[in-house]
Structure 1
């Protein structure tokens, strides 16, 4: 094993031994895991919120006051995600989950659905997903797929509800909106029961999602951070690996 994986060879071996003795696994992921798929992160030095004001493009009040502007932003994001491919980190997690379908779960802050494209089925989406639609007037929801999303919607037109003709909203959690309670309750339960939590590509700056590692700690779970950058919770981790998730996870999880 050469390169950066070799630098962490001892950690990899120790983590693999812990995996062999563990039963319940959580992969807690943020925007960094999708960066290698060409999806920009939000809070890095080149992140989206360095270029755009989230209060104007991704907040509930912005959607109500200027839905055209918000939809311009989300249509561009949807087009980008449609053209992206899941990377080796997504597929490594998906293959690992398939060997332990009852005991391995992904809790993600991402809205791109790349985990599902990588083979994961046990995915809790804390912030919704970009290919879902919800009507704030009548509550109707519908899920679409990335491969035919733009067969159903045109970037030239704001989507409207077929039931009540009001403007549809992307079924994502905007600023000023709460997390979906069912997903949040499930995330807390899984974090509180896991034996090992992989914390991958998240800055751990967003509340309340950043409290999930503490629930894992209360269960004496092992925390493995995979992130090129130091985070606010690095000191909490049992292992911190400064490497590409797509390169290191294939080694740790022993999947090709």
Structure 2
């Protein structure tokens, strides 16, 4: 271990920037059933609906601004004297826009497009059309660069290596109870890594320490403590 910090962030990190959390209590995401907009089967069945849905998400992300929690994490990564691994379940780019140099997007990034044929990635247009061509291979196979339900999250080997390189596991704005994220907390505990939850409300998961409150308050306060030592 290197004294590094592994930070897993979820929807609660970006909620105060106006981006709705993914798992609404009624099972809907922005008034849609997840099965209709966030699975490979949905894209095969109704690509126009899925493209329109992510065009709306992309516009919402573009209109949002990083909040104090994003800015504090970017500051921590820049100023801490050991690696700070920022791993996010979010599909927005607010950490990068706050100044974070390296962010691992395990569920993809809505600002990017992916070619389903050749795997090329590029900056997505604001409005992505059905059948849009890949600039690398010309296939009409463009899709949002999002990990949908039923697909394997990105960078899992890299994420595990980052966790094993750390002395502290921090979950911010995420329940820590849903896999694969729950597996990160459990692995950290198996490795003897201290665990901390920063969340609006406690998730009830087994963390060594829990601090509750809005991310824009608790995250900057914690970062200030870390950097003061």
Same fold (TM over 0.5): yes
Query: Does 1:192 find its partner at 2:172?
Result: no
Q: Does 1:251 align with 2:225?
A: no
Q: Which has the higher helix share?
A: 1
Which residue matches 1:6?
none
Match of 1:55 in 2: 35
Match of 1:110, SS?
Answer: coil
What are the Cα deviations for residues 109-162 of structure 1, in whole angstroms up to 9, with x where unaligned?
Answer: 111011111111221111110011111123322235xxxx43xxx36x333323
Matches within 5 A, 1:29-178: 29-45=9-25, 48-49=28-29, 51-100=31-80, 102-144=82-124, 149-150=125-126, 154=127, 157-158=129-130, 159-162=132-135, 163-178=137-152
Return the structure number with greater strand share.
Answer: 2
Task: Return structure 1 stretches of 4+ with deviation > 4 angstroms.
Answer: none
Does structure 1 retain, via aligned residues, the 8 Å contact 2:199–2:214? yes
Unpaired stretches in structure 2, ≥5 consecutive residues: none
Q: CA deviation at 1:48?
A: 4.4
| Structure 1 residue matching 2:86: 3-state secondary structure | strand
Partner of 1:211: 183
Contiguous gaps of at least 5 residues in structure 1: 1-21
Q: Between Structure 1 and Structure 2, whose CA radius of gyration is higher?
A: 1
**TM-score normalised per structure 1:** 0.80
Q: Contact 2:117–2:139 (CA<8 Å) still a contact in 1?
A: no
Structure 1 vs Structure 2 CA RMSD: 2.1
Indicate the residue corresponding to 1:240 in structure 2.
Answer: 210
Q: Give, in whole Å, the separation in 1 of the partners of 2:214 and 2:117.
A: 43
**How many pairs were matched up?**
222
What SS class does the counterpart of residue 253 from structure 1 fall into? Answer: helix
User: The residue matched to 2:112 in structure 1 has which SS?
Assistant: strand
